[in-house]
Amino acid sequence: MKEYFNNIWLGLFTVFVGMKVTFKHLFTRSVTIQYPDVKLQLPERERNRLYVNMDDCIGCDQCARACPVNCISIETVKSLPTEDLGKTSNGKKKALWVTKFNIDFAKCCYCQLCVYPCPTECIYMTDVFEFSEFEREKLDYSFTTLTPEEIEEKKSNFAAAEAEKAAQKLAAAAAAAKKAEEQKAADNKTSGDKPEDKKE
C-alpha cells in the first residue's frame, strides 16, 4: 500500500518538475531568428567552404599532400620557355599551367590543414556554408580557369616540346657515337700505317 502511494507521489512530482521548467521558459523572450532572412554572425575562426584564387596558384601540390582525406586533386603542365605565366600577388614566378584543381566537398572535413602549407596563400576558408546539392557529383568543385580546349592545347604543346627535346638528345647521341666511331677508325688507320720496330 505504501509503495502504491509512493508511486503516485513520484509521478506527480516529476510532472510538477517538468511543468516548472516549461512555465519558466514560457515567459522568457524568444531567441528564434527568421532564417534565412536573418543570419547569426559567424565566429571569427569558422571553417566553411574553401576557395582557390587561381591567379596566385603555382600548382605546387602542397595543399593536396596536406589533405588527410584526399579531396583535392591537382594536375599541372610545365610551361614552355616562350610562355610567360606572370607572377603571383606576392611576386612568385609561375612556371606551371594548372590544368586541374578540383576539391570534392563531399569528402572535405573542413580541417583547414590545406590552407597553412600554401606558399602563395591562394587557398583559404570562406564564410559560405550553404551549398547543399541533390547530386553528390555537384559537390566536386573545379577552380581551373582554363577552358578544355586550352588544357588540351597546353598538354599537346608540352608533349611536342618533350618529343622535340628527346629527338634532339637522340640526334646528339647519334652524332657523338658517329664521331667516336670515326675517331676510332682514324686511330686504327694511324696505328696500321705506323712502321713496326725492327728486331735486332
Domain ranges of the chain: 50-148
pLDDT score, position 165:
84
CA atoms within 13 A on the CB side of 171: 6
Which among 58, 60, 142, 139 has a CA at the least distance from the CA of 102? Answer: 142
User: Which pLDDT does position 52 carry in this prediction?
Assistant: 96
pLDDT of 200 reads 43
Which residue's entry shows cell 567552404?
49
The CATH architecture annotation of domain 50-148 reads: 2-Layer Sandwich (3.30)
Provide DSSP, 100-136: EEEEETTT-----TTTTT-TT--EEE-S------SSG
Q: What is the pLDDT along the chain (200 residues), one digit of tens a residue?
A: 888 888 888 989 999 988 888 888 888 877 788 888 888 888 888 899 999 999 999 999 999 999 999 999 999 999 888 888 888 888 888 989 999 999 999 999 999 999 999 999 999 999 898 888 999 999 999 999 999 999 999 999 888 888 888 888 888 888 888 888 878 777 777 776 555 554 44
Exposure letters 139-173 (e unless 16+ CB within 10 A, then b):
bebebbebeeeebeebeebbeeeeeeeeeeeeeee
Helix (H, G, I), strand (E, B) or coil at 168: helix
Q: What pLDDT does residue 169 have?
A: 87
Supply the pLDDT for residue 193.
59
CA dihedral 131, 133, 138, 140 (to 10 degrees): 50
